[in-house]
Structure 1
């Protein structure tokens, strides 16, 4: 798999010029901790093309990270300077505490583009982001280690974990977009199109989770 034609060429040319290359993506299924197969494929393709590090954001919660060919991939840093309460109504978890968690990545670059990367956990309020100490960040670091092990393990358990987390989000997206379409567009045809799209996504995710579960038996 390639990033795409231009992305692949850009990464290779930057590396040829001696750059330390860090693609930064805006992607991800909101409010879930496991990245999608497509995102993993693109991130791996970036590393294959020569990228040194991949960092991404968008889902409003932190996601798993992994090491691929000796390079680090951070699929979502979660929130940082963000008025997180605005999104409380969009998460399927009431008053979702994960929206007030974020990651900061520190990278120390050594000769020959080798580097050391470390993850730091921050706790957010409406007005600040506070760096947590080792004790405060331990629960999240433990969860991240478990998800990293999931990504490094057999593919079927990873796929099952990914597809099982998405139906609730798909249903939530249906509700949100129905309300938005009703308030903004007011078109019953548009509303039906949105509903069918996300309801179909929900069904497909449920089906994929069921099939993967049977394969694992």
Structure 2
């Protein structure tokens, strides 16, 4: 008799469950959808002026991708590695990067000639570049940058000079050497005062 009661209770429970489920809409299986990522609109700087068109310098990714492949290059320090260059108070050691990258970048070591003569070195100028990084290999150099003031950079110091930032060298140690990496390899330097 107890088994019969248990069966009736179980049957009644199943019947009730069917009635309840008939009243409720079936739960739908859904998969969470991610909204597509939206790109932020490009911001235009009010200070930026349209650049004059220059045909010789490929600056777009598509143009840079069309460059010939880069080649391997190694540069070793020798007795005659440093030569005269842009400034009379410095010697330059080209590292072969401009040729190996077909003008994409330039890298050179600048060796400053002692003693520092502020009347010669402290000329305000800027470089028309896309990127310029300087790393102090030996000694120290003191430079002044528009909007940033004067900074003394010592061995191991590194900085980026934004494109066309006005700057000048104020002083340097007798053993000062820096590594410069510049994009593109071909660029103009504009002196602003004599």
**TM-score under structure 2 length normalisation:** 0.20
**More contact order relative to length (CA 8 Å, sep ≥ 6):** 2
**TM-score under structure 1 length normalisation:** 0.19
Relative to total residues, which structure has the larger helix share, 1 or 2? Answer: 1
